[in-house]
């Protein structure tokens, strides 16, 4: 069973979703929670069985789909993807468990289970086509969630979300096809397997083009400035659960793909584009933080703050050293936990007041002290307080990038300032002051169902902030392998200089160089 | 010499007939001219040695298709002149000519460079019908059977469509009308 | 001994978590008592550690567990108790214990009594991490932790707009400095490969001066924020919105001195870069004068003490910058005692006056508040640096250090400031306790604080008096870690002239203050000549710096944010995206006329499309057939 | 004067053009059907001619299937035409606009 655990992880929720159609309406929540709990248990088992000291892929599965074109159903996890899979399972579980009364609850839960399939699929796929299929499929449930349960502008938001990301990923598909064609040119056989592609050394000018093609797809998903405008709409209109999953998992697909595809496949291009991307990341950090400060809607604050944090993740990724990349992967998990929790928290007051406008609140720390406390913990995590989960990721990302550029890191470091500004301002508007509105005087504090979701998140936030080792160590091992691979593959002097060499003597891996073949 | 004369004669006749088909205002004339044109075309087939095809052409077109059209026309008021608004004639003729030339160019291009290889060569001394039969029932058996099924389907479809009472269209009615129609139907069933 | 280290470190955490359990319930006095006991435990453990250090001097170094490890980076939770940190631990735990006990009385009527102790103990825990950590990352944990607790405590009465505003201001200003600190940490890591103090200090010796200068500057920027040095000083005065025990503990005795501690801790770094040290000393001297000048005219009791704190922090930095680290640490310690005492006394006065802060509305309180009067007067004497109280020994040492190092400008600035300090301290004392009972005009009936609060304060009083006597022991202890610099004026004559001169100057200032304010009659209404003068207005408005910050930084930031959102994000970025979508949609909308539904038209379009496709086919066919010729022609034309 | 393949192709072209003219010009559906018959037949001539001149039977086969398709098309087309006529009382192309996009 352990040999096929990834397939089980992917298709179990989908199968369960299909059976879900047959379940009575009253029982659907219990059904959904139990399915998600089993899935989460399986993912924990995966973690347990995962050997943290091995840097390569584990639990590989290989099944030919279209052998003549080298399209295979290849799955595998390493330290980079493992924790995002666990996180996806975890968030689906608490998402379903804490689902507040929604119309058509059954459809929602079935959709969420389908969504889970696509999410796990994306992070487990090691074949470009399989990856692409799951990548695109993930749009559909999300489109449905926003479009069916969203706010007044839901159609616009969902269509925008769909078309925008879809347009980007089509460019990415072209890149993938070209990459496969190139592999065919070089070796004479077709292959879409990412691990096969890793062995390919591309000429630098070609790397730049392919990097750009992949970049468009990933950047829109992340979303990077200036491709970010779909996100506030999507978050603003999506129901709470939609926002939680979107922020916690779906956005991570973009940054994950950068590490899985862009860095190891195009080391020279990554080094070449490092500074421009870092500048975009800095714009993301500062600009969106300022935009977040100007928001009137608390959910939009969190949405823009997501973009700001994604900027730090991108920066860490393009630090191109172990510290930075490990930090950015850790920050992906951290941001997933924290922003997911923040969206859940926003959902709590939205359920009570049906508004997210901050001027409608004020002083609710008086009436909802427990809520204010949990929000405060997440707020502090979000601004990167040490001993919370976010700090580890942010610290490592910035530390990593500092090796590459001092002045850019100094600018990016303003994240900790501007982040504090908008977050504290929002917290002040929501919680501090006197209770002025009559409706707010009798707000109920968080109930048990909400605590069910929020308490575990708070515990994770602090636990991984104090003791990140169980997560950081496997990440570190896999990242070291990636960085070494990049260093070995790099051809340009710039890339050799920017990507550190981790071993003393250069390991000669069998390379299939394009120039040799031609 | 005989071949040339025959070709030009029939070419002239075919063009003339078809010209009448597309220009005349009387549907009956058009039908008649079309039938005549079909027969003239079969002449080309005979000239080209495709005897079987020529026979089929006469039987199917002139015998079956034209008869079908003739029956069909009985439903319509064909004594009246056909009134047609006309747009820019230049565009119509120009586009048509251009399209036709292009089609021919594309088809002719491989032949000009003489790189067509006969897959099923015509064997000398064997009747055309025999050859056609052999090829049709070996290589083209499945298409042939499919064509037979298609004809059967077409026949049934023709009967059903023509025979059905189509005074109601669910697609073109709005919802109230559909409800009304349903009620009517239920009444009939009850009574 | 490690056992005591862990007790000292974690007792405050336990206390905080325990109190946190009761945050949503009603006031429970036992929460405060248990919290105080736990903090006292930490104090006792610290004392044991101090005794240990005093006896054999071997620092205790423990490594609890790994925190972050990736790549070459390895950061453990490591703690060290050496001569410097044990001094700080003593100061922190002692003042904390007293403030905890005091708070039981002070916060007696507050409905968030339990929450207060949770925050206060959490602060002590953070501060302990800060001082005990054996690496820069651990220091940063404490650094941010105290910032967080400071935020929670300044904004403790969160229903008050001013309090929450001040809390956010303090947090954000500290964050600005923390960025500098973070960059400093990055620099240390990438240049030395470690964040452990001992490893880094060892590696510093091999680095070039430019790198060290940058490290020194960035770390000092961090220190500037926490210690509220110019230009990041405005938060400290605003932080007085918090409850007074908080001001005593955080904004006088401990947290604000963390910056000084950082410089002292990194003494091996700053020894290598004396020019940065000189800058630190100059800034310290400037801040000492600058803050003292603002304290001269202020009409808010707590703010006056806050400015005085700022001024004394300037003294500490001046000493540390000049390389007199042990003097700085000594002044830090002495200052913690008398300043906390002063604040707690001010708290008593505030309680008595029903939160009235204007000393001009008080007067003559010595009759009703004898204990507080004595304590505050003695604390002020200590602050003014009059023999034989604590302030004399520490401040005099700083002046001597400046003199001996031949930085006469710094020396004279500090000397002048000493006079100002004496003046504003006694202006406050005179206005509060002497003269007419102006408070009667406002219908207030003052009363003395609880007895146990005064008892709790008494250790501070004793220390403020006798701390000077410990100078010798202290010096013997810390020189094993800090540079052994004795400052001796070479000629005895100069020494005595200087000391007595300083004392006379200071006493003169005290007398002048008494003369001027002890018989104050009325409450100023802003109409007198002095109040109309430019200097008064300048000082009263704190050099218009908060105003400038508000006007030129906060407001533009808000406006730019607004513009970024409404104009750039919505009108430019999003509109571009929507524009592209609009073009595509518009094309569809326009071409939809083609689909008129008229079969005849559609047939025509069909034919046209066929023609177009066929033409393309022909063109490509020809091109493929004649590709060689085309290439030849193009290359001849120079296109390819 | 030998009749070559080109002669037939030209003839086919002319007939095809006439058919296209009919397709575009005719507004009466019945007559439109006639025009499509012309198109099919013109192609048939080309097929037969190519088949003859290259000695390959494939052309004839195609012509054969084209005829079969034409027959089915007429059957279904006329059926539809009759249905339409019953509903609307005319078979004018301009009256068919329900496909407006």
More confident residue, C4 or B100: C4
Residues in chain C with CB shorter than 8 Å from the CB of D20 are 607
| Residues 26-45 in B contacting C (C-alpha not used; CB under 8 Å) | none
Q: Which residues contact A192 (CB under 8 A, 6 or more apart)?
A: A69, A70, A71, A72, A127, A128, A129, A130, A176, A180
Find, among C557, C613, C584, the residue nearest to C176 by Cα.
C557
The pLDDT score that the predictor gives to residue A511 is 45
Is B188 touching D (CB cutoff 8 A)? no
The model's pTM is 0.82
% residues pLDDT > 70 (chain B): 74
CB contact under 8 A, C615 and B106: no
Predicted confidence band of residue A222 (pLDDT cuts 50, 70, 90): confident
Is C485 touching A (CB cutoff 8 A)? no
Looking at the fold, whether A161 and A61 belong to one and the same domain comes out as: yes
Looking at the fold, whether A205 and A77 belong to one and the same domain comes out as: yes
The token duo for A333 is: 């998990």
> Which position has the token pair 């972050």?
C68
Taking only the tens place, the pLDDT of each residue in D37-94 is 898 999 899 888 888 888 888 888 888 899 988 888 888 888 888 888 877 777 777 7
Mean pLDDT of chain A: 88
Helix (H, G, I), strand (E, B) or coil at C111: coil
Neighbours of A412 (CB within 10 A): 28
Asked if A465 and A378 touch (Cβ cutoff 8 Å), the reply is no
Structural domain for A14, as ranges: 1-265
Mutate to test the interface with B, among C597, C603, C607, C620 (most CBs of B within 10 A): C607
Is D68 touching C (CB cutoff 8 A)? no
Neighbours of chain C (3+ CB pairs under 8 A): A, B, D
Residues in chain B with CB shorter than 8 Å from the CB of C604 are 87, 91-92, 95
Looking at the fold, whether A230 and A315 belong to one and the same domain comes out as: no
Smallest Cβ–Cβ distance between A294 and the set C176, C562, C577 belongs to: C562
Residues in chain D with CB shorter than 8 Å from the CB of B34 are 34, 37-38
Find, among D33, D12, D35, D27, the residue nearest to B20 by Cα.
D35
Predicted confidence band of residue A44 (pLDDT cuts 50, 70, 90): very high
Mutate to test the interface with D, among C597, C611, C614 (most CBs of D within 10 A): C597
Mutate to test the interface with C, among A300, A414, A417, A481 (most CBs of C within 10 A): A417
Neighbours of B38 (CB within 10 A): 23
The token duo for C276 is: 């940065």
Looking at the fold, whether A147 and A286 belong to one and the same domain comes out as: no
Q: Which long-range contacts (CB under 8 A, 24 or more apart) does D82-90 make?
A: D82/B72, D82/B75, D82/B161, D82/B162, D83/B161, D83/B162, D83/B164, D83/B166, D84/D29, D85/B75, D85/B76, D86/B166, D86/B167, D87/B166, D87/B167, D87/B169
The pLDDT score that the predictor gives to residue A38 is 93
Q: CA torsion sign, C500 to C504 to C507 to C513?
A: negative
Looking at the fold, whether A321 and A463 belong to one and the same domain comes out as: yes
Q: Is the pLDDT at A39 greater than 90, yes or no? A: yes
Q: Where are the domains of chain D?
A: 5-95
Residue A386 C-alpha, separation from nearest chain C C-alpha, in angstroms: 5
Which CATH architecture describes the domain B1-82+89-117?
Up-down Bundle (1.20)
In angstroms, how far is CA B190 from the centroid of its own chain? 47
Residues in chain C with CB shorter than 8 Å from the CB of A425 are 168
Taking only the tens place, the pLDDT of each residue in B4-45 is 888 899 999 999 999 898 888 888 888 889 999 999 999 999
Closest residue of C to B91, CA-based? C604
Residue A293 C-alpha, separation from nearest chain C C-alpha, in angstroms: 6
Neighbours of B144 (CB within 10 A): 17
Is B149 touching D (CB cutoff 8 A)? no
> Which position has the token pair 């009382």?
D89
**Is A489 contained in some domain?**
no
Q: Where are the domains of chain B?
A: 1-82+89-117, 140-191
**pLDDT of chain B, 191 residues: tens digit per residue:** 788 888 899 999 999 999 898 888 888 888 889 999 999 999 999 888 888 888 988 988 888 888 888 887 777 766 666 666 666 777 777 777 787 777 777 666 655 555 555 666 666 656 677 888 888 888 888 888 988 998 898 888 888 877 766 556 656 666 777 777 777 767 766 65
In degrees, rounded to 5, the angle at the alpha carbon of residue C293 between the alpha carbons of residues C264 and C373 is: 85
Residue A18 C-alpha, separation from nearest chain C C-alpha, in angstroms: 35
Residues in chain A with CB shorter than 8 Å from the CB of C65 are 467
Smallest Cβ–Cβ distance between C618 and the set B92, B95, B102 belongs to: B102
**Is A82 contained in some domain?**
yes
State the fold for domain D5-95. Helix Hairpins (1.10.287)
Looking at the fold, whether A233 and A152 belong to one and the same domain comes out as: yes
Mutate to test the interface with C, among B90, B94, B99, B107 (most CBs of C within 10 A): B99
Q: What does DSSP assign to residue D28?
A: B
Asked if A158 and A150 touch (Cβ cutoff 8 Å), the reply is yes
Taking only the tens place, the pLDDT of each residue in C470-525 is 888 888 888 878 887 776 666 778 888 888 888 888 889 888 888 888 777 777 77
CA distance A495 to A60: 31
Neighbours of D13 (CB within 10 A): 22
User: Among A15-19, A206-210, A293-297, D28-32, whose mean pLDDT is lowest?
Assistant: D28-32
Taking only the tens place, the pLDDT of each residue in A225-283 is 888 888 888 898 889 889 999 999 999 999 999 999 989 999 899 998 999 999 999 99
% residues pLDDT > 90 (chain A): 38
Q: How many CA atoms lie within 13 A of A489 on its CB side?
A: 29
Taking only the tens place, the pLDDT of each residue in C280-319 is 999 999 999 998 888 888 888 888 888 999 999 998 999 8
Looking at the fold, whether A198 and A324 belong to one and the same domain comes out as: no
**Number of domains within chain A:** 2
CB contact under 8 A, D94 and C603: no
Smallest Cβ–Cβ distance between A424 and the set C24, C168, C581 belongs to: C168
User: Among A174-183, C73-82, C475-484, whose mean pLDDT is lowest?
Assistant: C475-484
CB contact under 8 A, A476 and C557: no
Closest residue of B to C617, CA-based? B106
**Is A490 contained in some domain?**
no
- Average pLDDT of C386-390? 82
Asked if A486 and A259 touch (Cβ cutoff 8 Å), the reply is no
Is C585 touching A (CB cutoff 8 A)? no
CA-CA distances (angstroms) from residue A280 to A164, A219, A223, A302, A315? 19, 10, 11, 20, 9
Find, among A275, A228, A260, the residue nearest to A82 by Cα.
A260
The pLDDT score that the predictor gives to residue B117 is 58
Asked if A144 and A111 touch (Cβ cutoff 8 Å), the reply is yes
Among A474-483, A506-515, C363-372, name the most confident range: A474-483
The pLDDT score that the predictor gives to residue B175 is 73
CB contact under 8 A, C65 and A433: no
Q: Is the pLDDT at C355 greater than 50, yes or no? A: yes
ipTM reported for the complex surpasses 0.90: no
Predicted confidence band of residue A506 (pLDDT cuts 50, 70, 90): very low
CB contact under 8 A, D20 and B49: no
CA distance A446 to C45: 40
| Residues 59-78 in D contacting B (C-alpha not used; CB under 8 Å) | 60-61, 63-65, 67-76, 78
CB contact under 8 A, C603 and D23: yes
Mean pLDDT of chain C: 86
Looking at the fold, whether A217 and A109 belong to one and the same domain comes out as: yes
Taking only the tens place, the pLDDT of each residue in A397-435 is 999 999 888 889 999 988 889 999 999 999 998 888 888
Is B93 touching C (CB cutoff 8 A)? no
The pLDDT score that the predictor gives to residue A510 is 47
The pLDDT score that the predictor gives to residue C44 is 92
Neighbours of chain A (3+ CB pairs under 8 A): C
Looking only at the bridges linking them, the beta strands covering C60-70 and C73-81 are: antiparallel
- Average pLDDT of C317-327? 87
The pLDDT score that the predictor gives to residue B171 is 60
User: Among A69-78, C309-318, C435-444, whose mean pLDDT is lowest?
Assistant: C435-444
């Amino acid at each position: 069973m352990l040999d096929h655990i990834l397939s089980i992880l992917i298709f179990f929720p989908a199968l369960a979703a299909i059976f879900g159609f047959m379940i009575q309406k009253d029982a659907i929540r219990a059904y959904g929670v139990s399915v998600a709990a089993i899935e989460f248990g399986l993912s924990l088992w995966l973690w347990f069985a995962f050997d943290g000291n091995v840097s390569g892929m584990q639990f590989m599965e290989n099944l030919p789909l279209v052998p003549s074109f080298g399209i295979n159903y290849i799955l595998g996890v390493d330290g980079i993807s493992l924790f995002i899979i666990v996180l996806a399972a975890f968030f689906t579980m608490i998402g379903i468990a804490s689902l507040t009364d929604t119309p058509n609850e059954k459809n929602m839960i079935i959709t969420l289970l389908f969504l889970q399939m696509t999410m796990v699929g994306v992070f487990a796929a090691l074949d470009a086509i399989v990856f692409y299929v799951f990548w695109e499929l993930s749009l559909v449930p999300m489109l449905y969630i926003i479009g069916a349960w969203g706010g007044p502008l839901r159609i616009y938001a969902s269509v925008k979300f769909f078309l925008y990301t879809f347009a980007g990923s089509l460019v990415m598909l072209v890149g993938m096809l070209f990459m496969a064609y190139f592999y065919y040119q070089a070796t004479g056989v077709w292959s879409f397997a990412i691990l096969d592609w890793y062995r390919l050394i591309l000429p630098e000018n070609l790397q730049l083009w392919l990097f750009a093609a992949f970049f468009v797809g990933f950047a829109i998903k992340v979303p990077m400035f200036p491709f970010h405008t779909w996100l506030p709409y999507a978050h603003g209109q999506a129901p709470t659960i939609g926002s939680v999953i979107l922020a916690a998992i779906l956005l991570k697909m973009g940054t994950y793909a950068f590490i899985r595809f862009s860095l190891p496949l195009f080391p020279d291009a990554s080094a070449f584009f490092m500074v421009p991307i870092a500048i975009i990341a800095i714009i993301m950090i500062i600009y969106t933080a300022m935009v977040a400060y100007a928001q009137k809607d608390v959910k939009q604050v969190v949405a823009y703050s997501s973009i700001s944090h994604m900027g730090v993740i991108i920066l860490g990724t393009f630090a191109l050293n172990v510290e930075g990349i490990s930090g950015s992967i850790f920050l992906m998990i951290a941001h997933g936990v924290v922003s997911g929790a923040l969206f859940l928290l926003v959902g709590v007051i939205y359920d009570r007041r049906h508004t997210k406008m901050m001027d409608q609140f004020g002083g609710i720390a008086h009436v909802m002290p427990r809520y204010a406390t949990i929000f405060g913990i997440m707020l502090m995590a979000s601004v990167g307080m040490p001993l919370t989960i976010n700090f580890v990721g942010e610290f490592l990302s910035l530390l990593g990038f500092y090796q590459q550029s001092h002045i850019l890191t100094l600018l990016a470091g303003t994240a900790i300032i501007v982040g504090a500004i908008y977050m504290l301002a929002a917290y002040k508007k929501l919680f501090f002051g006197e209770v002025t509105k009559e409706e707010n005087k009798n707000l109920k504090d968080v109930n048990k169902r909400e605590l069910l979701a929020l308490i575990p998140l708070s515990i994770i936030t602090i636990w991984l902030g104090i003791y990140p080792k169980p997560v950081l160590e496997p990440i570190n091992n896999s990242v070291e392998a990636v960085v070494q691979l990049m260093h070995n593959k790099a051809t340009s002097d710039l890339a050799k200089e920017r990507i550190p060499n981790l071993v003393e003597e250069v390991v000669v891996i069998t390379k299939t160089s394009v120039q040799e073949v031609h | 010499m005989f071949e040339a004369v025959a070709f030009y004669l029939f070419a002239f006749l075919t063009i003339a007939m078809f010209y009448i088909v597309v220009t005349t205002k009387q549907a009956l004339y058009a039908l008649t001219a079309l039938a005549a044109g079909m027969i003239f075309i079969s002449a080309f087939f005979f000239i080209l040695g495709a005897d079987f095809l020529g026979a089929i052409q006469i039987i199917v077109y002139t015998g079956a298709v034209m008869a079908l059209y003739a029956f069909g026309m009985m439903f319509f008021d064909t004594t009246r002149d056909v009134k047609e608004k006309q747009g820019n004639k230049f565009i119509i003729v120009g586009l048509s000519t251009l399209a036709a030339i292009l089609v021919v160019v594309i088809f002719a291009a491989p032949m000009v460079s003489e790189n067509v290889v006969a897959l099923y060569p015509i064997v000398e001394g064997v009747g055309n019908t025999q050859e056609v039969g052999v090829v049709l029932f070996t290589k083209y058996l499945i298409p042939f059977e499919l064509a037979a099924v298609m004809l059967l389907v077409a026949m049934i479809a023709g009967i059903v469509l023509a025979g059905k009472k189509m005074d109601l269209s669910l697609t073109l009615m709005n919802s109230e009308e559909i409800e009304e129609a349903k009620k009517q139907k239920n009444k009939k069933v009850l009574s | 001994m490690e056992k005591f280290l862990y007790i000292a470190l974690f007792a405050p955490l336990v206390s905080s978590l325990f109190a946190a359990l009761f945050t949503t319930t009603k006031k429970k006095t036992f929460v405060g008592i248990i919290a105080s006991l736990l903090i006292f435990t930490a104090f006792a453990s610290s004392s044991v550690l101090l005794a240990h250090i005093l006896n054999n001097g071997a620092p205790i170094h423990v490594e609890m567990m790994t925190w972050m490890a990736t790549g070459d980076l390895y950061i453990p939770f490591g703690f060290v108790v050496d001569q410097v940190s044990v001094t700080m631990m003593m100061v922190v735990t002692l003042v904390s214990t007293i403030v905890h006990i005091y708070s039981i009385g002070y916060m007696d009527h507050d409905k968030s009594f339990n929450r207060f102790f949770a925050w206060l103990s959490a602060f002590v825990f953070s501060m302990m991490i800060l001082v005990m950590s054996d690496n820069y990352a651990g220091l940063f944990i404490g650094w941010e932790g105290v910032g967080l607790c400071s935020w929670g405590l300044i904004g403790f009465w969160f229903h008050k707009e001013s309090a929450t505003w001040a809390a956010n201001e303090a947090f954000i200003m500290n964050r600005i400095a923390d960025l500098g600190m973070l960059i400093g940490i990055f620099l240390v890591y990438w240049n030395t490969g470690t964040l452990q103090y001992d490893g880094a200090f060892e590696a510093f010796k091999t680095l070039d001066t430019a790198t060290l200068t940058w490290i020194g500057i960035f770390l000092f920027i961090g220190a500037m924020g926490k210690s509220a040095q110019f230009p990041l000083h405005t938060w400290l005065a605003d932080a007085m919105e918090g409850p007074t025990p908080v001001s005593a503990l955080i904004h006088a005795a401990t947290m604000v001195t963390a910056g000084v501690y950082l410089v002292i801790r990194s003494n091996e770094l700053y020894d290598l870069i004396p020019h940065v040290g000189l800058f630190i000393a100059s800034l310290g001297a400037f801040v000492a004068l600058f803050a003292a000048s603002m304290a001269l005219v202020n009409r808010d009791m707590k703010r006056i003490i806050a400015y005085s704190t700022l001024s004394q922090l300037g003294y500490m930095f001046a000493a540390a910058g000049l390389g007199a680290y042990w003097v700085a640490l000594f002044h830090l310690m002495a200052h913690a005692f008398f300043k906390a005492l002063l604040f707690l006394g001010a708290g008593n006065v505030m309680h008595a006056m029903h939160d009235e802060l204007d000393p001009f509305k008080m007067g003559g309180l010595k009759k009703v508040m004898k204990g507080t009067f004595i304590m505050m007067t003695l604390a002020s004497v200590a602050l003014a640096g009059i023999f034989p109280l604590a302030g004399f020994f520490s401040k005099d040492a700083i002046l001597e250090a400046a003199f001996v190092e031949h930085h006469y400008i710094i020396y004279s600035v500090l000397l002048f400031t000493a006079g100002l300090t004496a003046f504003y301290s006694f202006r406050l004392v005179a206005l509060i306790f002497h003269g007419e009972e102006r408070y009667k005009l406002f219908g207030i009936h003052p009363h003395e604080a609880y007895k146990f609060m005064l008892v709790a304060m008494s250790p501070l009083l004793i220390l403020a008096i006798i701390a000077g006597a410990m100078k010798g022991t202290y010096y013997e202890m810390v020189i094993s870690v800090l540079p052994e610099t004795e400052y001796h004026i070479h000629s005895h004559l100069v020494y005595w002239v200087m000391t007595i001169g300083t004392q006379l100057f200071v006493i003169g200032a005290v007398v002048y203050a008494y003369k001027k304010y002890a018989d104050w009659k009325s409450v100023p209404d802003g109409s007198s000549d002095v109040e109309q003068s430019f200097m008064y207005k300048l000082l009263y408005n704190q050099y218009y710096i908060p105003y400038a910050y508000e006007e030129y930084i906060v407001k533009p930031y808000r406006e730019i944010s607004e513009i970024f959102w409404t104009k750039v994000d919505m009108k430019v970025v999003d509109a571009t995206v929507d524009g592209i979508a609009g073009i595509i949609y518009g094309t569809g909308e326009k071409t939809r006329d083609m689909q008129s539904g008229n079969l005849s038209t559609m047939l025509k379009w069909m034919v046209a499309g066929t023609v177009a496709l066929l033409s393309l086919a022909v063109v490509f066919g020809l091109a493929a057939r004649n590709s060689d010729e085309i290439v030849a022609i193009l290359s001849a034309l120079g296109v390819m | 004067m030998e009749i070559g393949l080109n002669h037939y192709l030209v003839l086919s072209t002319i007939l095809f053009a006439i058919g296209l003219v009919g397709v575009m010009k005719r507004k009466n559906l019945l007559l439109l059907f006639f025009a499509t018959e012309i198109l099919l037949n013109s192609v048939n001539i080309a097929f037969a001619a190519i088949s003859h001149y290259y000695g390959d039977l494939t052309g004839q086969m195609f012509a054969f299937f084209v005829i079969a398709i034409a027959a089915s098309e007429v059957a279904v087309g006329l059926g539809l035409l009759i249905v339409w006529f019953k509903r609307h009382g005319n078979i004018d192309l301009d009256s068919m606009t329900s496909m407006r996009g």
